[in-house]
A = this chain, B = another copy of it.
Amino acid sequence: MQAKEDVFLRSARTETGRFIGTEDLLKELAVRQADPRYKVEAVSWDRLEGWKFDQATGNLVHGSGRFFSIEGIRVSTNFGAVPCWTQPIIVQSEIGILGFLAKRFEGVLHLLVQAKMEPGNLNMVQLSPTVQATRSNYTQAHRGLKTKYLEYFLDHSRARVLVDQLQSEQGARFLRKRNRNMVVETSEEVPVHEGFHWVTLGQIHALIRQDNVVNMDARSVLSTIPLAGPGQQAGGAVEAGSRASPAVLGKGVAAGGALRTHDEIISWFTELKTRYELEVERIPLKDVGDWARDDRRIFRKDGKYFSVIGVSVEAGDREVPRWTQPMVQPQHEGVIGFLTKRIDGTRHFLVHAKLEPGNLDVLELAPTVQCITGSYKAAKPEDLPAFLHDILDAPPDRVRYAAFQSEEGGRFYREQNRNMVVEAGEDFPAAVPPDFAWMTPAQMNEFIKYNNYFNVEARSLIAAVGLPEEE
């Protein structure tokens, strides 16, 4: 009802920032990407400082017991083709903050982005949220400088909270990792430090259409901002009304044009969580079968999936100017994609309930296709994920979004995946396999709020398609 007044929506439509143009920001990024002070080099294990392989377990740990560790898990499940396996996984139980500081200028909300160097980034420097801080960061475990702007996120008297949600990270690589995704709005005068810029949501949405410019943490936070257009707004309100009214509970036709009601989606997800079992046992890294370690890598003997490597980093302007750390290096470039379709006039996205070993709660809602751990190019046809061809072989006029995006540059070494949103063909059936469901953008916005519903791959795409169509 107040959509016209909506500050998010207005700022999402404002593609001209008050402080820096989008082209100028890209130029500045290019200069920083070429900064000769930034150096990242893969090194052998003996050159990692502070890190060691625990004698008893073989786990790769930091001497302080903080940051993160590489350990092993044994997985049993009835989901998918492989019932049982072991693998290395990143264990990082502390919850960090990924946060955008926001402020209105002439009524338009601007977010403070940072052009940030991270060792794993494709292009070395990408745009990050204002604050990207592990708990170790902000409790100064690494004895670096204070995290800039953190005070706005910790002290609610200095900025009001617009978004504050727990969101999961890659369930194939992290064991139950989550971060706190925040947007806080201040009315204080804010000093703009070197490398930081105020940009509108509209500018960010233009930048997210470029390859490897907006980093994963930023995309994750952006996905939590519900950009309700007039159409969605009405849909949302009616749909919300249907949820408040048990009279329509369970009826076959959902309000707001959605194919399924909110309660039907909960029931669908409940049934799948009952059907699929996931047992994950933490084991010593040395007991992980099929994997080996040499002097510079932990790798799967058949070359599949990913390796763990050590890197040495120089980054003159970061809190800590030089350090070494382990990183995960993928073996293949992957693809994640949503199929989208208007069904009876309402925009829907095809969501996949996907089990990954690091999930907190068995299943999370994933994109239609998420194929980042194995090589889909090398797979046998019968092993390919459902709908892969609908994504990859779509004619250009049905591709709504396509860009390469990097995974988190603090843990993943030069990992990029093809992100796509593809309009399904006219003849694409509304009826889909049991693990899939069509959801409207308003429904996706709603489920995102509750932790551990949408996985990070889905959120990365949702961030890119956040702006409702003018249709």
Contacts and interface: CB of A to CB of B under 8 A. Distances in A.
Contact of A228 (B2, B164, B245): B245
Nearest to A281: B282
A459 to B, nearest CB: 16
B360 A266 contact: no
Interface string A420-454: 00000000000000000000001000100111110
A162 B250 contact: yes
Contacts of A236: 243-245
Contact of A241 (B1, B95, B247, B360): B1
Given A1-B245, A5-B247, A180-B270, A163 B446 contact: no
Contact of A446 (B227, B243, B277, B451): B243
A270 B93 contact: no
B271 A246 contact: no
A7 B247 contact: yes
B450 A180 contact: no
A453 B449 CA distance: 13
Contacts of A442: 244
B249 A240 contact: no
Given A236-B244, A360-B361, A361-B452, A249 B95 contact: no
A360 B361 CA distance: 8
A161 B247 contact: no
Contacts of A185: 250
A442 to B, nearest CB: 7
Interface string A140-180: 00000000000000000000111111100000000000001
Nearest to A236: B244
Nearest to A178: B273
A165 B269 CA distance: 9
A187 interface: no
Number of copies of this protein chain within its complex: 2
Interface size class of A (residues with CB under 8 A): 35 or more
Interface string A203-245: 0000000000000000000000111100011001101110111
A384 interface: no
A48 interface: no
A241 B237 contact: yes
A90 B262 CA distance: 33
Nearest to A268: B164
Contact of A250 (B6, B161, B249, B262): B161
Interface string A87-113: 000000101000000000000000000
Contacts of A244: 226, 228, 232-233, 236-237, 239-240, 442
A445 B287 CA distance: 46
A274 interface: yes
B240 A243 contact: yes
A349 interface: no
Given A3-B245, A6-B247, A93-B277, 19 more contacts: A1-B245, A2-B247, A7-B247, A8-B246, A95-B273, A161-B250, A161-B264, A163-B249, A163-B250, A163-B267, A164-B270, A226-B246, A227-B246, A228-B245, A228-B246, A239-B244, A241-B241, A273-B451, A360-B361
8 contacts: A1-B245, A3-B245, A163-B250, A165-B267, A165-B270, A166-B274, A228-B245, A233-B245
**Chain A to chain B: the 10 pairs with minimum beta-carbon distance, closest first:** A240-B240, A236-B244, A164-B267, A2-B247, A450-B450, A162-B250, A6-B247, A8-B246, A95-B274, A164-B270
